[in-house]
Chains A and B, each alone.
Chain A
Amino acid sequence: VPDAALRCRYVLCEVVSEDPRCRQCIEDRAVGLAVRDAIGRVHGDFGLACCSISFTVKYLNAYTGTVLLRCRKDSYRLLCSALPFVRQLESRNQRYPCFLNTLHVGGTIRTCQKFLIEYNRRQLLMLLQSCTNEEERRCVQKSLLSCSLTEEQCLSGNEDDDDDGTDTD
């Protein structure tokens, strides 16, 4: 457990965009800049400075749009309150409107990871329920099954999954 003074908060959020091309922009520099920009707008220089201490993008996944941000525990409220004001991501002169959906605030990366597992699983279940045709249902089921097993089995399941997935594709 790190020193109390150095304790951090990890904010797990999701990039939601209408435009699928936005996913190109999901990279840590772009996300970091966008968040900083938003904090600067909302809380001013002081707020930005507070949040910038040990602020990083710890993890992101362009394909699911998941982003994990870190900042000091003292200033995470400033960060969280500024997140809704992120309106767009800009990268390589391309700019796509989007917003950040805060999913979870945790004290360690591990809790965030655990949350993410649960969250994704829930998403898949919801997807399964809302499936419209049989093929989709099959796909989702496969995906769902593939990730609920133990590690080794996971891998093998994935392989099967891959083959199946490409076939269906």
Chain B
Amino acid sequence: MSGAKEKKRAKKMRNQPASVILPAEPGPFPGGGSRACPIPGDVLSEHQYQQQKFLNQSSGPSYRKDQYFPKGQNRGERGRGRGGWQGGCQSISEEMPRYITVSTFAQARAAEINAMLKAVSQKSSNSMVFQTLPRHMRRRAMSHNVKRLPRRLQEIAKKEAEKAVHQKKEQSKTKCRKARRRHINLVAEFNRRQRKNIWLETHIWHAKRFHMVKKWGYCLGNSPTEKCYRACYRAMTKHCLLQDLSYYCCLELTGKENELLKQLAQICSIDTGLTFGEAGCLSGRFEGSVNLYRADRYPEDMLGPVTFIWKPRDGSENRQLWIWMHPALKQGILGELKTIFQCSEPEETCIPEPATTSVQEEKQMDVVLSIGKKRKKEDKEGGKAVPVKKIIGDGTRDPFQSYTWISQTTGVVISDRSMEILRYRLIGPLSHSVLTETLKAASLQTEMADSETGLNNWWVENCKNSEKVSLHQCQSAIFELLEGLSSPSQLPPGAILGLTVGDPRVNMPKKKTKAMPDFEKYRDNDKVRQLYLEGVPVECAHSFIWDQDICKNVTENKISEQDLNHMRAQLLVPGSHLDLGPCESKIPILLVQQPGKMTGEDRPGWGSGWDIYLPKGWGMAFWIPFIYRGVRVGGLQEALKHSEYQRTPHTPNDFPDCQAGKQFAKELETSLLEKFKRRPPAKRPNYVKLGTLSPFIIPWGQLTKNWEERMKASGEFVHPSSPHTEHCAIKGHSFYDPKAENMKEASPVTGEVEETMEITSSEGALKTEDVTGTQDVGERDETTARSDFVVLRSEKVLMQLSAWCYPTAGKDRRIRLVSRLGQKEMTEDVFLPILMSYPRALVWVNLSLLRKGSPELHAMICIPTEDDLLHLSKDKLFCGPQEPKHRDIFKHKVQKLKEEKKKKKDNIKALEGDPPSVPEETAERHEDLILGLWSDTLPDVTSHCSRTLLGYVTRGDFSLAAGCGEALGFVSVTGLQKTNLRMCAGGTERCSL
């Protein structure tokens, strides 16, 4: 039966009472197939005719459907072969009865009546019963009240109303809005909602303005709902962008300095630059950053990048060290720290009393657990049972789970202080203006405001000590000097300033203002000059925020927003400045300068700013005053862009060798693949044809392996095609280490270095990813089982590489540069040891495009051919070579599979006569092969395309800061050096998208 005919018939039959068919089949014979009753063998001969006919008819499964309608019946019989039918008939006709019995006659009639009854009682249309009534019989509110219908229809209407679709939405069990919004219920609800993903203190503020994502166990703002891509960039460049980084985790290490340094040396390498023992950082004057590796496994087993702050020496032999890290890295690093300090057992006795909130929480939990009373009742028990606001701190942490570990041998204490310290980041040249305008140094106070609450008692005590008073005055003097700076980047990178400030809510402006620096005041001040020449003195780095007791005290004694507003309302002159006097809270904070862009030649200091560390509970109290100073708030996306423009690696995107980075890549792959599959198959790019082997995940392992193989295959080393490598053309190399200023960029003026991008309508912008099931598995095995690639982070080698790659106008300049940096000229001798020690290394590079175009995620970085370079120098509009079309070697496989599926489907259809279930079928196909995705194990990735592949882009976009397309990616070190040696006509990097 052809599909069209089938469809037509189905359409014709749609509104027919289906039961009409019944009589034809079971009608004549009481043992009808419809009831699936086996026909007993002892049938009388008179019935044999009917029986046989019946059996004959019901042979095929699809028969019944055909039988439903007379036409179908005919067709069905014909289709099944006439011979069988006729033969049956002839043989039967001989035994044909000459008369009919009463019983069959009666039964046939009875069956027909039944069928008809069924047909009649069924409503044939799609409408509700009351809609089928003629107009004059309709009554108001018939659908509401069944009894308004004529009695004969009431049954049917009742049945209809009971159907789920028509049923009213079930009354939600929640209370009315007023009850839900009652504070106590609201807090309970909030606590319930953040059980899985922790909320930051600014969560509700963010949730109203941001697209929220659940990541790393937190609810974070991804990007604002308003249009702000450029506005955020402007804020970063010209004013101030604020970010809540409180989700970063802080591990606190306390112990003797020697012990700490000795053990910590295992997990970082002097090779990668600074370590925990760096003098400036050790004194507590600067914040340091370091890459951690598993103990003594460098350069493999990367744990991730962290920043750290030492508490300034205060006389006692124990030092405190904060290690701040991204939450995705926390588990790995915490585990490693516990191992190296040999404190696997949680130390129960020395748990510092958790913040009151969690204590109360505990109590409450106890109540719930032991008594098991109804919550409502419990609520009424009194103030104690009121659900505690979990928004403060990490309320989701199991109160019984310890988060402090002590080492028996060394006495080092590791404690997890995540969510105990808040961290905001202000980015932009005016961030210190915002700070100075918002924060006012705390006033000295010598008498207690309220001896009972203990409000500010630490501060009063502190003010009795004249030394500390002078320190505070020194700190506040320096803080005020900040106003005279034109940019935070003028301070030495990572400078730390401790401070104690008053309640920022007191001096909020009435309207949102824009904080601007007042240069008049400090223009010629020597002190300012001194500040940025010498930085913040060591003493000033001290802050009370290091003291947990003080932090706790400050958190507990915060005046609530409600009380503050109440006091404001009681002011004699409405709107005048509220002076809290001795009741004003004093909050210890820590300001840390963020250096911004330190590599490369353009835009030095771009994106610099301040990090501010606060005790928990004060989040919104500082947040809103900042907002009132005209800052713009960014989310995760803005942070990503910031690091992209600043050319710094972003955690975890740019760390493919650490666990978090792998996890991130996997998640990205899944989401991209999902997105790909959501498109209709005809609208999907065919990545096989485009020459992209794995558009959704980057096969780093494969890449490095292939390069290693290439190396081996081509003899010990490649012979440089020409001994004079006149130009080496790698556009930009930005390396990790901020101190080594080895970010090289080809200035477009020289025109030698070029990145060309292939942008074609068919290929451009479409490449993303593709992985099929089998490949996926292979890939995963590769990455997890053995990390077969490392990312080169050795400072020395990076310096060397970047010197070689440095674009020059002539040979001389590079030689000069090389000699200046104390590097060796590029020769095979120098290469070999590097290659030997890092056979499978990747290096992080920055690429900028010479001409049009912007690179995309997972774009391929290739070595240009000489023709490309020639073409480039001649043609000003040349945007790069285009990848020729590849043949889709999987296409026939996919098609074959499709056909098979179709056949199977047809068979099924012929057998059952059911409409084929399309989604199932497509889903099945997806499991096996997806058109347009490479489904085998990957071939040699380096030689798959027309140009040799060097590496991949991990992040790429048009850079608003640089004014051209820019990308950050990784290339194989081996490939890079080979390129350097071979390039003669001016290197180019081709970015084939």
Whether B74 and A27, one on each chain, are in contact in the complex, defined by CB atoms closer than 8 angstroms, is: yes
Does A168 interact with chain B (Cβ within 8 Å)? yes
Min C-beta distance of A96 to chain B, whole Å: 11
Does A64 interact with chain B (Cβ within 8 Å)? yes
- Which of A3-11, A44-52, A79-87, A114-122 participates in binding chain B? A114-122
Min C-beta distance of B77 to chain A, whole Å: 8
Q: Which residues of B contact A57 (CB under 8 A)?
A: 70
- State which residues 94-111 of A face B: CB under 8 Å: 109-110
Whether A120 and B97, one on each chain, are in contact in the complex, defined by CB atoms closer than 8 angstroms, is: no
Q: Which residues of A contact B97 (CB under 8 A)?
A: 20
Whether A154 and B124, one on each chain, are in contact in the complex, defined by CB atoms closer than 8 angstroms, is: no
Whether A169 and B86, one on each chain, are in contact in the complex, defined by CB atoms closer than 8 angstroms, is: no
Alpha-carbon distance A58/B29, docked complex (angstroms): 22
- State which residues 10-54 of A face B: CB under 8 Å: 20-21, 24, 27-29
Does A147 interact with chain B (Cβ within 8 Å)? yes
Alpha-carbon distance A36/B70, docked complex (angstroms): 17
Min C-beta distance of A127 to chain B, whole Å: 6
Alpha-carbon distance A117/B119, docked complex (angstroms): 11
- Complex interface bits, B79-117 against A, C-beta within 8 A gives 1, otherwise 0: 000000010010001001111101111111111111011
Whether B37 and A62, one on each chain, are in contact in the complex, defined by CB atoms closer than 8 angstroms, is: no
Does B44 interact with chain A (Cβ within 8 Å)? yes
Alpha-carbon distance A154/B97, docked complex (angstroms): 30
Does B43 interact with chain A (Cβ within 8 Å)? yes
Does B919 interact with chain A (Cβ within 8 Å)? no
Assuming the contacts A59-B20, A159-B35, asked whether A121 and B113 have C-beta atoms less than 8 A apart, the reply is yes
Whether B106 and A140, one on each chain, are in contact in the complex, defined by CB atoms closer than 8 angstroms, is: yes
Assuming the contacts A139-B103, A147-B114, A158-B114, asked whether A63 and B108 have C-beta atoms less than 8 A apart, the reply is yes
Q: Which of A57, A61, A92, A121 has the most CB of B within 10 A?
A: A61
Q: Which residues of B contact A28 (CB under 8 A)?
A: 70-71, 73-74
- State which residues 800-829 of B face A: CB under 8 Å: none
- Complex interface bits, B29-58 against A, C-beta within 8 A gives 1, otherwise 0: 111100101011001100100100000000
Selected from B28, B31, B110, the residue in CB contact (under 8 A) with A143 is B110
Q: Which residues of A contact B109 (CB under 8 A)?
A: 64, 120, 123-124, 143
Alpha-carbon distance A147/B112, docked complex (angstroms): 9
- Give B47's nearest chain A residue, CB to CB: A169
Does B960 interact with chain A (Cβ within 8 Å)? no
- Give B123's nearest chain A residue, CB to CB: A110
Does B27 interact with chain A (Cβ within 8 Å)? yes
Whether A24 and B89, one on each chain, are in contact in the complex, defined by CB atoms closer than 8 angstroms, is: yes
- Give B134's nearest chain A residue, CB to CB: A1
Assuming the contacts A28-B71, A29-B74, A116-B112, asked whether A92 and B106 have C-beta atoms less than 8 A apart, the reply is no
Min C-beta distance of A148 to chain B, whole Å: 8
Does A146 interact with chain B (Cβ within 8 Å)? yes
Does B514 interact with chain A (Cβ within 8 Å)? no
The binding surface of chain A is classed by DSSP as helix
Alpha-carbon distance A169/B613, docked complex (angstroms): 96
Does B637 interact with chain A (Cβ within 8 Å)? no
- Give A108's nearest chain B residue, CB to CB: B124
Interface residues on A, range: 35 or more
Alpha-carbon distance A8/B35, docked complex (angstroms): 34
Selected from A29, A61, A159, the residue in CB contact (under 8 A) with B112 is A61
Assuming the contacts A59-B20, A64-B108, asked whether A117 and B30 have C-beta atoms less than 8 A apart, the reply is no
Alpha-carbon distance A56/B12, docked complex (angstroms): 12
- Give A65's nearest chain B residue, CB to CB: B108
- State which residues 129-169 of A face B: CB under 8 Å: 131, 136, 139-140, 143-144, 146-147, 151, 154, 158-159, 161-162, 165-166, 168-169
- Give A67's nearest chain B residue, CB to CB: B70
Whether A162 and B35, one on each chain, are in contact in the complex, defined by CB atoms closer than 8 angstroms, is: yes
Does B368 interact with chain A (Cβ within 8 Å)? no
Does A60 interact with chain B (Cβ within 8 Å)? yes
Q: Which of B20, B32, B86, B106 has the most CB of A within 10 A?
A: B106
Q: Which residues of B contact A114 (CB under 8 A)?
A: 116, 120
Q: Which residues of B contact A88 (CB under 8 A)?
A: none
Alpha-carbon distance A61/B17, docked complex (angstroms): 15
Whether B102 and A140, one on each chain, are in contact in the complex, defined by CB atoms closer than 8 angstroms, is: yes
Min C-beta distance of A143 to chain B, whole Å: 4
Whether A61 and B110, one on each chain, are in contact in the complex, defined by CB atoms closer than 8 angstroms, is: no
Q: Which residues of B contact A127 (CB under 8 A)?
A: 102, 105-106
Assuming the contacts A110-B120, A154-B117, asked whether A63 and B73 have C-beta atoms less than 8 A apart, the reply is no
Q: Which residues of A contact B50 (CB under 8 A)?
A: 63
Q: Which residues of B contact A131 (CB under 8 A)?
A: 102
Whether B23 and A64, one on each chain, are in contact in the complex, defined by CB atoms closer than 8 angstroms, is: yes
Selected from A63, A136, A151, A169, the residue in CB contact (under 8 A) with B117 is A151
Alpha-carbon distance A154/B124, docked complex (angstroms): 20
Q: Which residues of A contact B74 (CB under 8 A)?
A: 27-29
Assuming the contacts A27-B70, A113-B120, A161-B30, asked whether A147 and B113 have C-beta atoms less than 8 A apart, the reply is yes
Selected from B89, B110, B124, the residue in CB contact (under 8 A) with A146 is B110
Alpha-carbon distance A95/B175, docked complex (angstroms): 78
Selected from B40, B86, B93, B111, the residue in CB contact (under 8 A) with A166 is B40
Selected from A20, A110, A158, the residue in CB contact (under 8 A) with B35 is A158
Q: Which residues of A contact B47 (CB under 8 A)?
A: 169
Whether A169 and B112, one on each chain, are in contact in the complex, defined by CB atoms closer than 8 angstroms, is: no
Whether A62 and B24, one on each chain, are in contact in the complex, defined by CB atoms closer than 8 angstroms, is: yes
Selected from B89, B114, B121, the residue in CB contact (under 8 A) with A92 is B89
Alpha-carbon distance A64/B37, docked complex (angstroms): 22
Known contacts A113-B120, A144-B106, A165-B103, then 14 further A-B pairs from the complex at CB < 8 Å, ordered by chain A residue = A21-B96, A60-B70, A61-B23, A63-B27, A64-B108, A109-B17, A113-B119, A116-B112, A127-B106, A143-B106, A158-B111, A158-B114, A159-B35, A162-B35
Can you pick out 7 interface pairs between chain A and chain B where the beta carbons lie within 8 Å of each other? A20-B98, A57-B70, A63-B24, A120-B116, A139-B103, A158-B110, A161-B107
Binding site for A on B (CB under 8 A): 16-17, 20, 23-24, 27-32, 35, 37, 39-40, 43-44, 47, 50, 70-71, 73-74, 86, 89, 93, 96-100, 102-114, 116-121, 124
| Pairs A-B, 6 closest by C-beta atoms | A63-B28, A28-B70, A143-B110, A139-B103, A143-B106, A147-B113
Binding site for B on A (CB under 8 A): 20-21, 24, 27-29, 56-64, 66, 92, 109-110, 113-114, 116-117, 120-121, 123-124, 127, 131, 136, 139-140, 143-144, 146-147, 151, 154, 158-159, 161-162, 165-166, 168-169
